Chains A and B, each alone.
Chain A
C-alpha cells in the first residue's frame, strides 16, 4: 500500500471538561487532507481511468474528501495531471499551477504525466516535474483505480506529516513474486 507504513494520526486528547486539545498545525493538516478540492487537468486516455476512479464502483475521491472538482485554479488545491502533456500545453499547465493558491499539491496520474511514457520525441514533455513541482507520482498505463487511491492516501499521509518530497506509489505486490522462471536464471544457479 504505497509508502504508508504506520498511520500518523493527529492526537485529540479528551479531558473531563469536555474540550479536546491539539496542535494548530495538526488540526489544519487534518482539515486540509480531508477537503482536497481537485482541479482535473485531463488531457488523454488516462481520463477514462480517472472517470472509473471517481464513479461509484471505486468512489475513489469522495471517500477521501476529494470529490468536489473546481474548474477554477483559484479555488482548488490539488492539481490532477491526467495524461500526456505536449510541449504546446506546457505553458498552460504552468500557468494553471501558478494560479493555484497555497497550499497546493500536484498528483501525476499515469506514466505519461510522470515521465513522458513512451513518447520520447519532439511533442511531449518528459514528465510534468520538468515544468512544475510534483508531489505524488502514480505509475501505470493507465494506473488501476486502486493504485490511484493508494496515491491519494499517500498524499494525505504526506500532508499530515508536512513532507513535501516527491513520492511514488509502489506496487501492492512484488510483480516478480511467484513468477515462473522458464529459463534457469542466475539466481537459481546461485541458490
Chain B
C-alpha cells in the first residue's frame, strides 16, 4: 500500500533517493545523508504523506562497508496508516566523519533516540540541542556497540577488588566459550587476536 510513499519520494527527490525496496509490506528508502533533514521535513509536513509518529531511530555498524554506519529511521503516519523505513549511510572505515543532521526540531521525540545512537554507535547529530551520553556514564571512552569495541572490554568506575584483598577466588567460569553468544564471535574486529 505504501509503495506509493516511495513513489512520491522518488518523484520529489530523484537522485537523492539512492535505492528503495519493499518486502513483506515494509518499505525502505536509502537516501543521501546530506538531504536527510530535507527529506524528513517533507515526510512530516507534506499533507499527502503526513508522517507524524517517529517510531524508532537507531544506528547499525557494517564494519566491512564504506560508508560504514547506517542511521535507520522508522516512521508511521497515524492518520494515513502507512509506514516507512528511511536509511542514510555515514562514516568512513575508521568511523570518522559519521555526522548527520539532527531531526529533533521536526520530531521532538527523536531527541533521546539520537542521544542513544550517539552514545552507543558514535554517530554525531549536528545541531542537536543536548548531545550527551544517555546510557553510558560520562567517563566512558568509545562507543560500545561499534564492532571494533572489544566484546569483553569493561571500563569500571569502581576499581575491582584484587584476590589478595578479598582473600577468596573472584574469577568465575564463564558459562559459555570464547566464541559463543554473538553471531560474529567474540573477537576484536580488524585484528588477528580472538579476545
Contacts and interface: CB of A to CB of B under 8 A. Distances in A.
Contact of B172 (A87, A90, A94, A127): A127
Interface in B94-148: 136-137, 144
Interface in A75-132: 87-88, 90-91, 94, 115-116, 118, 120-123, 125-127, 129-132
A69 interface: no
B69 to A, nearest CB: 19
Contact of A91 (B144, B157, B174): B157
B161 A165 contact: no
Interface residues of A, number: 22
Contacts of B168: 129, 165-166
A133 to B, nearest CB: 7
Given A88-B137, A121-B151, A130 B161 contact: yes
A121 B157 CA distance: 15
B174 A87 contact: no
Contacts of B174: 120
Contacts of A132: 161
B149 A87 contact: no
Interface string B136-177: 110000001000010111111110110000101010101110
B195 to A, nearest CB: 11
A133 B168 CA distance: 10
Contact of B136 (A88, A131, A165): A88
A165 B174 CA distance: 23
B172 A122 contact: no
Nearest to B145: A122
8 contacts: A87-B137, A90-B156, A120-B151, A122-B154, A127-B172, A130-B161, A132-B161, A165-B168
A116 B175 CA distance: 11
Interface of A: 87-88, 90-91, 94, 115-116, 118, 120-123, 125-127, 129-133, 165-166
A116 B160 CA distance: 14
Which of B137, B154, B166, B174 counts the most A-chain CB atoms under 10 A from its CB?
B154
Given A120-B152, A127-B172, 14 more contacts: A87-B154, A87-B155, A88-B157, A90-B157, A116-B172, A118-B175, A120-B181, A121-B151, A125-B156, A126-B172, A127-B170, A129-B168, A131-B160, A166-B168
Tell me if A's interface is mostly helix, strand, loop or mixed.
loop
Given A126-B172, A127-B172, A133 B166 contact: yes
Chain B, interface residues (CB within 8 Å), range: 20 to 34
B157 A122 contact: no
Given A88-B136, A88-B137, A127-B172, A122 B155 contact: yes
B152 A121 contact: yes
Given A91-B158, A131-B161, A115 B172 contact: yes
A129 B166 CA distance: 8
Nearest to A166: B168
A14 B175 CA distance: 53
Contacts of B155: 87, 122
Contacts of A94: 158
A99 B176 CA distance: 36
Contacts of B157: 87-88, 90-91
A32 to B, nearest CB: 22
Contact of A122 (B149, B160, B176): B149
Contact of B158 (A90, A121, A127): A90
B170 A122 contact: no
Nearest to A131: B158
